[in-house]
Amino acid sequence: QVQLVESGGGLVQAGGSLRLSCSASGRTFTNYAMGWFRQAPGREREFVAVRNWSGDRTSYVDSVKGRFTCSRDNAKNTVYLQMNSLKPEDTGVYYCAAAGSPYGRMRYGADEYAYWGRGTQVTVSS
């Protein structure tokens, strides 16, 4: 019944911007950590960003710091990833994830999340 649906992916030129959205249903994820991961062809899924359960802290992988911003709107049960100054290396399928229980510490590993979206493709051309 719990479902996460990503949207907002697409094809952009290097240096461009894109905003991803993740809408949740089946459960209200207020007080749950929610994050973003990405996977490039032939690569392992990697952590990108996380918004903590209280919505007052964010953490990012070093390669996107200063360019990506993760935020959430609890009233809409939605989490966002604003991506600026995109690089070809950012290309991949982006997945939204939600923790399986509320509260708790920051979650950086894929095994710390219980629910996943199907992903949205982001392609950055040079």
Backbone angles phi, psi at 28, to 5 degrees: -85, 120
Q: Is the pLDDT of residue 47 over 90?
A: yes
Q: Is the pLDDT of residue 55 over 90?
A: no
Give the pLDDT band of residue 71 (cuts 50, 70, 90): very high
pLDDT of residue 23: 97
Name the residue with tokens 């100054």. Answer: 85
Measured torsion, CA atoms of residues 5, 90, 13, 84, in degrees rounded to the nearest 10: 80
Q: What is the pLDDT of residues 74-110, one digit of tens each?
A: 899 999 999 999 999 999 999 999 999 999 989 999 9
Distances (CA, A) of 75 to 25, 30, 101: 12, 9, 19
Q: What is the pLDDT of residues 4-23, one digit of tens each?
A: 999 999 999 999 999 999 99
Distances (CA, A) of 71 to 35, 43, 49, 91, 104: 10, 26, 10, 21, 18
Report the distance separating Cα 64 and Cα 66, nearest Å.
Answer: 6
